[in-house]
Amino acid sequence: MKPKDTSVRYLLSSSPHAHASVSVTRLMLDVILALLPTTAAGIAFFGWPALWTVLTCVVSAVATEALCRRAMGREQTVGDLSAVLTGLLLALNLPAGLPLWMAAAGSVFAIAIAKQVFGGLGMNPFNPALAARAFLLISFTGPMTTWLKPFWWRSPEAMTTATPLATQEFPGFADLFLGIMPGCIGEVSALALLVGAAYLLVRRVITWHIPVAFLATCAACALVLGGAPVHVQLLSGGIVLGACFMATDYVTSPASAKGKLIFGCGCGLLCMLIRRFGAYPEGCSFAILIMNAFAPLISRWTKPKPFGAK
């Protein structure tokens, strides 16, 4: 009779060995939900043009993702909602009056060039929505810097205007905080953005390190470099949107707490330098993209040592 095998057997496999209950789809959904207040505010401020821009970007991003995955013969990833989030973030970084074909071209660039060319979700070195915004800004500078006034400001002879940073005519604190000013669809209302950011912090989707470091550095630079007052620098343009929703992207930012602080400070410093000395009055997108390139190096510098290592 064959003896019973009493040896202990172990299953050997590569990491990760511990799995969290949170899925990619759940994370994407949380960020989408956090963006709903600022999306609603943008549509309320700018009307139908904002709604059509959001729908165009989201539909184009999802369609592009599906076509790219099919063309590459890879598993479909539309269901993880990452394409929906990319399209929504891009739309929120666009002026409401942008021609819809340009918005669609931006979504195609974000998904096909900035994401799928590198292998898909988790492989892209740069934030796809910001890469697409930079592409549109360089390619179509005029339409990308033409802003609709909020609907209650409009008159037949004055439908568009420049942002406060470009005109150096600053609204009051309440108007800046609520969003009663020209700008991109999703960047004008700091109140709506902070409500969404609070939701992400409560859900532990993001941590405080990057937003606080980003905003604090911008405030310090505003005091040192001069120009617009601190509250104007923080509440106008894309700083709050960038600090809370763009710079905190898992894939293109460091993972360690120390690395996040360095990353956030770098974003804030570059943003303010571009605003003060650059050709564009807004530098948030370019600052984050530049720091995306340094994120792997920052991660290497700040990588925690294993327990017991010298």
DSSP letters, 151-163, are GGG-BTTBSEE--
**What is the predicted pLDDT for the residue at 181?**
79
**What is the predicted pLDDT for the residue at 280?**
75
Which two structure tokens, joined as six digits, stand for 227? 């120009």
Residue type, 138: I
**What is the predicted pLDDT for the residue at 179?**
80
**What is the predicted pLDDT for the residue at 147?**
82
pLDDT 10s digits, 76-113:
888 899 999 999 999 999 999 899 999 999 999 999 99
Residue written as token pair 């997108």: 285
8 A C-beta contact, residue 103 and residue 62: no
**What is the predicted pLDDT for the residue at 231?**
87
**What is the predicted pLDDT for the residue at 249?**
92
Tell me the mean pLDDT per 10 residues along the chain, length 310. Answer: 61 57 86 96 92 96 94 88 95 93 97 92 92 94 84 51 64 82 87 95 95 96 86 88 94 92 96 87 90 94 73
**What is the predicted pLDDT for the residue at 199?**
96
Asked if residue 211 has a cis previous peptide bond (ω within 30° of 0), the answer is no
Q: pTM for the whole thing?
A: 0.88
Pairwise CA distance, residues 170 & 159, whole Å: 19
**What is the predicted pLDDT for the residue at 162?**
58
- The three-class DSSP label of residue 72 is coil
Q: Which domains does the chain have, with CATH numbers?
A: 24-300 (1.10.3430)
Which residues have C-beta within 8 Å of that of residue 135, sequence separation ≥ 6?
106, 109, 113
**What is the predicted pLDDT for the residue at 192?**
94
Pairwise CA distance, residues 34 & 244, whole Å: 10
Which two structure tokens, joined as six digits, stand for 189? 């209302």
pLDDT 10s digits, 190-199:
999 999 999 9
